Amino acid sequence: MKYIDEYRDGALARKLAGAIAAEIQPGRRYNIMEFCGGHTHAIARFGIEDLLPPEVRLIHGPGCPVCVLPVGRIDDAMAIAARPGVILCTYADLMRVPASNRRSLQSAKADGADIRMVYSVEDALTVAAENPAAQVVFFAIGFETTTPPTALALVRAKAEGLANFSVFCNHVLTPSAMEAILAQPQDGPDPVHVDAFVGPAHVSMVIGTRPYETFARDHHRPVVIAGFEPLDVMQAVLMLVRQINDGRHQVENEYSRAVVPEGNRKAQALMEQVLERRDSFEWRGLGALPDSALKIRDSFADFDAERRFEVPARSVPDPKSCECAAILRGQRRPEECKLFGTACTPESPIGSCMVSSEGACAAHWTFGRFRERRRA
Amino acid sequence: MCLAIPARIVAIAEDGVTAQIEVEGVRRPVSLALVEGCGIGDYVVVHVGFALSRLDPMEAERTLALFAEAGLTGGAAS
Amino acid sequence: MSTGSRQGRVEMTHGGGGRAMARLVEELFVAAFDNDLLRRRDDQAQFAAPTGRMVMSTDSFVISPLFFPGGDIGSLAVHGTVNDVAMAGARPLYLSAAFILEEGFPLADLGRIVDSMAAASKEAGVPVVTGDTKVVERGKGDGVFITTAGVGMVPDGVEIGGDRARPGDAVLISGTIGDHGMTILSLRESLGFETGLRSDSAALHGLVADMVASVPGLRCLRDPTRGGLAATMNEIAGLSGVGMMLDEAAIPVRAEVRAACELLGLDPLHVANEGKLVAICPPENADRLLAAMRAHPLGAQAAIIGRVTDDPHHFVQMETAFGGRRIVDWLNGEQLPRIC
């Protein structure tokens, strides 16, 4: 596979591992957060941690849209789906995400709700066109990568007068969540340990490199935007280790083959036309974050499922004993949570980090739990 | 987050928006509505049925060269 | 054979016990599966019991679409049960087949399925000797469901079971993984995939016979169907109380399967196979077993893919081609395309 296999080369990986090891300064720790679930997945799937020196610790961040979607929003989607005549179209990733009372879209489907899995929002438009008597609702989730297709669907629905189509909008913003992680008090008993960020690959194709400048300039954290292939991750680690050693904090772009500084202007313009910032949005594990999500503009209000249908809009607190918030901030490791692997597993997740295979806990459980014995 | 892979454009419909991409003999339709100036033979990064970015072959080579260079300066890992 | 039973659609009377049903059975099923035992028209098949150990297995087949490149529900229903019997190292002898038909299902399609099933059974040399047909109302089935059962005989001296893997044993696979599952998934219209993939659906008892003859000390045999190679390795690890260490670079995967998995966010290790087997044998027999497998057309791409380890956690691990390590876990839930 061109542009994939070259970036998975084991021989180059060993050389890069050597380069990283050679840069490590004795006694120094390098706490690097990969924000994105895509990086978390690559790290786990390719076993990248085995190639890094023990001084480098990778902290798995909250960049998995399925994981951070709060219970209340799933409850809302289920309430919409339960109405007669509604067809709820959703990405398959959401089917098993736990809602209140141990329910999920999957259990709602078993109860008789018409819930259909789609691979693209365009499929949802097709379902709407083919079922004019039904109300077709697209359950939109995702970071900036997944947002432009939703915006485009709204523009098309309006242009084509597809009156039975609407969007339940849950799109969230990456920089806001990175901000929230760093906003924690640094001098408390349990400070956040994030020295640097591996920045998003595909989010950055859309938003470009500039939104990360604030983390370098104001928060003094180096950021390296990196592709999702394993050599990309290792190269980013090498670049971050060098920045930390040099006392630099800059935004660097390792994923220059797909990310340009200004991002995808066409996609940005579409998002701007259709969507605007919410004052506040709740994130599973992180709580309510200001300016962290998007809603549908008034000019597209007719296609906003939140306005078309009454939703309960109830906030459901995260389970008390769950350590997700601390894990997402790098204050705890997954295996340090007492629910990990006991009450909370990928088959019956309790916290956000266990919900999708990209969550910090699920990735550790599914791919990496053999490492615990080595640490012990 | 955001599963997306690079794929080669092998056909573009008359509307200029609907394209076929191919990876190792697997073809599927994608929309080019969110990118500009893509032609047959170009590689695009595809997410949920949409091309989001045109892959720059020169930059791809440069990045691979960076890996090799880092390997030279660091030497092989034990 | 009269063509009368291959026109029109399945009606409730085809399962009603009357003349229409008798005609369907006669003209379609008996004609296609034709053999001495079935021709007696008893409610059961009578045959002499061989001496030694017998095995019995059953499987139900529900698949959409019913027809796919490389096979259909009929051939799959034969291969699936023949393979389940063969995984004891057994020689399959006889099959039964039960059909649940949905009212309105085209008889021409049923005819194609039955013909394909008969061809698969003749090619395998395992006759369908007894059967049953029921019809359910429209909307209460998915065209056709088939359940087959099979019996077979284990040769003397062969002791194969999921609990027999020992640390140090070699793990082998008979060929490329994921072909069947990705073929079926790529046919889902919502994905709009075009591939040249074909299901690997095949009867493996001939391959098994060659393997058993070559290495009588074979310890485990399993066909990695639903849940893929990952599920099979975890099953054996659990049953035998051992761990596994796989070598990712050694596991054969077609380029198209790999590409389709990348596009959909799936792991080839979780994708179903219908014509592959996993074998575990003592390390000193591994090369001989591999040679025997490669000498058979269904094992031409066989490979040694790992080893059994001593592990109280019974972890299935894999050395990745990239140079790291990871766990190979069970598939969690259903296999669905990911977007993130």
pLDDT band at A336 (very low <50, low <70, confident <90, very high): very high
Which range in A98-102, A297-301, A329-333 is most confidently predicted, on average pLDDT?
Answer: A297-301
The token pair that represents A187 in the structure block: 């001098």
CA distance A69 to C326: 28
Average pLDDT over residues A221-243: 98
Domain extents for chain A?
A: 1-333
Q: Which residue of B has its CA nearest to C338?
A: B3
CA distance A60 to A50: 16
Please tell me the distance in Å from C228's CA to the nearest CA on chain A. 16
Contact between chains at B5 and C263 (C-beta distance less than 8 A): yes
Q: Name, in order, each residue with C-beta under 8 angstroms of B49's C-beta and a sequence gap of 6 or more.
A: A119, A120, A121, A122, A123, A149, B28, B29, B30, B31
Chains that touch B (3 or more CB pairs under 8 A): A, C
Domains of chain B: 5-74 (2.30.30.140)
When CB atoms are compared, the residue of B24, B31, B34 closest to A264 is B34
Q: Above 50 in pLDDT, residue A223?
A: yes
Contacts of C261 in chain B (CB under 8 A): none
Q: Which residue of C has its CA nearest to B7?
A: C263
Average pLDDT over residues A167-178: 96
Enumerate residues 3 to 42 of chain B having a beta carbon within 8 A of any beta carbon in chain C. 3, 5, 7, 23-29
Average pLDDT over residues A116-134: 96
Q: What is the pLDDT of residue A159?
A: 98
Q: What is the pLDDT of residue A318?
A: 82
Q: What is the pLDDT of residue A145?
A: 97
CB C273 within 8 A of CB C181: yes
Q: Which residue of A has its CA nearest to C230?
A: A366
When CB atoms are compared, the residue of B5, B26, B46 closest to C193 is B26
- Interface probe with C: pick from B3, B21, B22, B26, most Cβ of C within 10 Å: B26
Average pLDDT over residues A178-187: 77
**Chain B interface includes C193 (CB < 8 A):** yes
Contact between chains at C259 and B2 (C-beta distance less than 8 A): no
Across chain C, where does the E strand assignment appear?
53-61, 67-68, 71-72, 91-102, 128-136, 144-154, 170-173, 220-222, 243-247, 278-281, 303-309, 316-319, 325-327
Q: What is the pLDDT of residue A301?
A: 97
CA distance B30 to A150: 15
Chains that touch C (3 or more CB pairs under 8 A): A, B
Q: What is the pLDDT of residue B75?
A: 45
**Chain B interface includes C191 (CB < 8 A):** yes
Contacts of C340 in chain B (CB under 8 A): 1-3
The SS3 assignment for A258 reads: coil
Q: What is the CATH number of domain C4-154?
A: 3.30.1330.10
Please tell me the distance in Å from C53's CA to the nearest CA on chain B. 46
Q: What is the pLDDT of residue C1?
A: 43
Cβ-based contacts under 8 A for chains A and B:
156
What strands lie across the sheet with A196-199, from one edge to the other? A56-63, A30-36, A196-199, A223-225, A251-253
Please tell me the distance in Å from B36's CA to the nearest CA on chain C. 22
Q: Above 70 in pLDDT, residue A187?
A: no
Q: Do domains C4-154 and C170-327 have the same CATH topology?
A: no
Please tell me the distance in Å from B17's CA to the nearest CA on chain A. 13
Q: Name, in order, each residue with C-beta under 8 angstroms of C321's C-beta and a sequence gap of 6 or more.
A: A8, A10, C248, C249
Burial A232-241 (b: 16+ CB within 10 A, else e): bbbbbbbbbb
Spell out the alpha helix ranges (H) of C270-319: 286-294
Q: Which residue of B has its CA nearest to A357?
A: B1
Contact between chains at C191 and B28 (C-beta distance less than 8 A): yes
Contact between chains at A15 and B23 (C-beta distance less than 8 A): no
Contacts of A201 in chain B (CB under 8 A): 2, 4
Tell me which residues of chain C have a pLDDT lower than 50: 1-2
Beta-bridge partner residues of C194: B27
Average pLDDT over residues A198-217: 97
Please tell me the distance in Å from C332's CA to the nearest CA on chain A. 6
Contact between chains at A19 and B75 (C-beta distance less than 8 A): yes
Contact between chains at A257 and B63 (C-beta distance less than 8 A): yes
Average pLDDT over residues A165-188: 87
Contact between chains at B28 and C263 (C-beta distance less than 8 A): yes
Q: Above 60 in pLDDT, residue B78?
A: no
Q: Are strands A86-91 and B43-47 parallel, antiparallel or unpaired?
A: unpaired
Q: Which residue of A has its CA nearest to B36?
A: A266
Cβ-based contacts under 8 A for chains B and C:
42
Average pLDDT over residues A347-376: 84
Q: What is the pLDDT of residue A319?
A: 83
Average pLDDT over chain A, rounded to an integer: 93
Domain extents for chain C?
A: 4-154, 170-327
Q: What is the pLDDT of residue A180?
A: 87
Contacts of C325 in chain A (CB under 8 A): 47, 50, 370
Q: Which residue of A has its CA nearest to B48?
A: A120
**Chain B interface includes C9 (CB < 8 A):** no
Q: What is the CATH number of domain C170-327?
A: 3.90.650.10
- Interface probe with A: pick from C257, C326, C332, most Cβ of A within 10 Å: C326
**Chain C interface includes B67 (CB < 8 A):** no
CB C158 within 8 A of CB C33: no
Give me the CATH topology for the region A1-333. Answer: Rossmann fold (3.40.50)
Query: A93, A48, A66, A62: which is closest to A367 by C-alpha?
Result: A48
- Distances from the Cα of C162 to the Cαs of C241, C271, C302, in angstroms? 10, 20, 20
When CB atoms are compared, the residue of C190, C324, C333 closest to A50 is C324
